[in-house]
Amino acid sequence: MANPLHIVVCAGIVPDPLQTLEPVVTATGPGVKNELVLPAVLDPWAASALYEAAHLAGKWPGSKVWLVSVGPKAKLQQVMMTIAQKAAFELVAIDAPIGGFADAEATAQALKDAIAGIAGLDRERLLLFGGWESASRGAGVTLQLVGERLGILDQFQGVDQIDLREDGSFEVAERVEGGRQQVSQCAGAPAVLGWATGNLAEPRNNPQLGMTNMHTVMPALQRAKRMDLSSNGLHYLSVSLPKQQRLTRVVKDATPEAIAAELAEWIGAE
């Protein structure tokens, strides 16, 4: 390929979903109980985007990957100690709250400003990657909003695969209803790709790669600007855990029709 790729991955950090996450109302609005002490991970959808970006950059010499991430410095450092061993990237950090109740517009503006400030980034070669959904800020719209603010009109969501050609054009497969895929052709960068799960397994830890990445990760964390994401008038009346209900009966010799009718009645009563 004549022109190497510049791939920017937007990836937030979230509390480990294996932990018990209990919503609470704080002085500044809704939050997660004991959020600051919960272990954090890279958002699962965005992690797939990062692995796909690193794989794609490795196939095209001269390409570069930037990881733009929002979160408290201490949490970002904790997560980067692991992620830095899995993919080659340059970190662009934004020091901001991690909670999942921030407004998508404010988050998108913060990401856009950070991307616009990346030295040496060529927007004509830019592929903007991120998660199709998110365990925190996604709301299904954040990545689209970032792309629109950067003036990128070619956007693909629910991406499982991208096949890049020598001339810079590519074919992309997106998920659609019914377990099918929509295949589209794009003339080339710039473009936005919101990844689903992709096709790659999680890379193995590479301590040498991790040490190389940490030479740039630590200075990036030190340079991270503090930012308070505005609510833009967004207000939550209440937050609570999903309702749990379990009513069990043991019935013998019930017909499928009777079972279906009882289930329909139960669902209709909710």
**What residue spans define the domains of the chain?**
6-226
What lies within 8 Å, CB to CB, of 26 at 6+ separation is none
* Band (65; pLDDT cuts 50, 70, 90): very high
Residue 142 vs residue 140, higher pLDDT: 142
Homologous superfamily in CATH for domain 6-226: HUPs (3.40.50.620)
Distance between CA 205 and CA 210 in Å, rounded?
A: 8
pLDDT digit string (tens) for 27-51?
Answer: 666 677 777 777 788 888 888 899 9
Length of the chain counted residue by residue: 270
Q: Which residues pair with 162 in a beta bridge?
A: 172
Helical ranges in 118-229 per DSSP H: 142-149, 207-223
227 with 94: CB under 8 angstroms?
A: yes
* Band (240; pLDDT cuts 50, 70, 90): low
Instruction: Give the pLDDT of residue 199.
Output: 78
* Band (239; pLDDT cuts 50, 70, 90): low
Distance between CA 102 and CA 1 in Å, rounded?
A: 40
Instruction: Give the pLDDT of residue 8.
Output: 94
Percent of the chain clearing pLDDT 90 (strictly above): 11
Residue 16, phi then psi, degrees to nearest 5: -55, 120
Distances (CA, A) of 49 to 42, 158, 195: 11, 11, 6
Distances (CA, A) of 159 to 70, 89, 175, 181, 195: 23, 21, 6, 9, 5
Answer whether 0.85 is exceeded by the pTM. no
DSSP structure string for 163-186: EE-TTS-EEEEEE-GGG-EEEEEE
198 with 51: CB under 8 angstroms?
A: yes
Instruction: Give the pLDDT of residue 129.
Output: 92
